[in-house]
Amino acid sequence: MKKTVTVLRGDGIGPEVMEQALNVLNAIAPKHGLELTYHEGLIGAVAIDQTGTALPDETIEKCLASDAILLGAVGHPKFDNDPNAKVRPEQGLLKIRKSLGLFANIRPIATYELLYNTSPLKEKLLKGVDFIVYRELTGGIYFGDKGRGDDGNSAYDHCNYSRMEIKRIAHLAFQAALQRRKKVTLVDKANVLETSRLWRDTVKTVSAEYPDVELDFMFVDNAAMKVIQNPAFFDVVLTENMFGDIITDEASVITGSIGMLPSASVGEKSALFEPIHGSYPEGAGKDIANPFGTILSVAMLLDHFTLHEAAEQIRNAVDNALKEGVVTVDINQDKHVSTTEAGAYIVSQVS
């Protein structure tokens, strides 16, 4: 099997965690008949510094010509601290999602026994937590018309959705549920928002095609509480763009380390894989960042290539690392290894 992967190392710790992820991918690929060709592209602050734009056209072209994209991290405080900056690193993320048609963001949320004591939740709430969020990624309030009133004293952000946008991600969520515990929870605000009522109508229609999957509904405020009170309740969570942004970030905290969590953003032709953590510029170049989120994103990439055995080997290797205490400083401040050492351990497990 021959595949082309575009690598976007990004900003901050992105290049460091990406290096370890690529080492793992290169170690495991030959064992499963996977022959890889890589292309490198710019995105984020490093792209702004070199080209003046957060996502150059050349990067988009490389991504469109690839079978998958690996992304490190995007962001830099020099832009965060400048409210007048006209170009920001995060604009590259919005643009790549739209340009590649990445309409579904997929984030698995799982807890690890070793991290129970680093989670803000009590241990009894963490056992058995294993759910996945399907967040619509290219519609909603982030992409609707926006602006200021003529006098500058009012502003608007329009939230728009079509049945087509809702159907295509709903099918992905139900298909995932068939491989899991056969339950989908639609998170919305249908008691207030017309777009949420369209989501309910459409998802109900889609659910009729999946009679073996249970569908329930939950308002987003209740869902936010449920993630804290009983996170093991969820199996597959389906939601719109802004609600998904908030719910997934909330859910990431309960695992005990944001550095452990991978994600995928998929469309009809393209798929991008990245850890959910930020660029953490304060840690850049110190060899202290947790590479496991990026390495687990490689596992999701291998699943996308239908190399499920290889993906499971990587996940098992990460489990072994946690059990043996081969972890970075974000997990254990007293006894830890470097980014490089953590990556080398996974390579040794999968080689």
pLDDT in tens, 284-333: 999 999 999 999 999 999 999 999 999 999 999 999 999 999 999 999 99
Q: Which of 224, 254, 284 is the last residue of a domain?
A: 254
pLDDT digits (tens, 9 = 90+) for 228-285: 999 999 999 999 999 999 999 999 999 888 899 999 999 999 999 999 999 999 999 9
In angstroms, rounded to a whole number, what is the distance separating the alpha carbons of residues 250 and 349?
32
Catalytic residues: 142, 189, 221, 245, 249
Q: Which of 220, 254, 288 is the last residue of a domain?
A: 254
Q: Which of 280, 295, 290 is nearest to 347 (CA)?
A: 295
In angstroms, rounded to a whole number, what is the distance separating the alpha carbons of residues 101 and 220?
25
User: Are residues 76 and 190 located together in one domain of the fold?
Assistant: no
pLDDT for position 80: 73
0.85 exceeded by the pTM? yes
User: Are residues 75 and 146 located together in one domain of the fold?
Assistant: no
User: Are residues 164 and 228 located together in one domain of the fold?
Assistant: yes
Structural domain span for residue 345: 1-107+258-351
Residue 112 within any structural domain of the chain: no
Domain count, the chain: 2
User: Are residues 307 and 229 located together in one domain of the fold?
Assistant: no
User: Are residues 239 and 272 located together in one domain of the fold?
Assistant: no
User: Are residues 46 and 150 located together in one domain of the fold?
Assistant: no
What's the CATH code of the domain at 189?
A: 3.40.718.10
User: Are residues 90 and 145 located together in one domain of the fold?
Assistant: no
pLDDT for position 82: 73
Give the H/E segment covering residue 316: helix 308-323
DSSP letter at 336?
-
User: Are residues 142 and 246 located together in one domain of the fold?
Assistant: yes
Residue 213 within any structural domain of the chain: yes
What is the overall mean pLDDT for the chain?
Answer: 95
User: Are residues 129 and 241 located together in one domain of the fold?
Assistant: yes
Residue 201 within any structural domain of the chain: yes
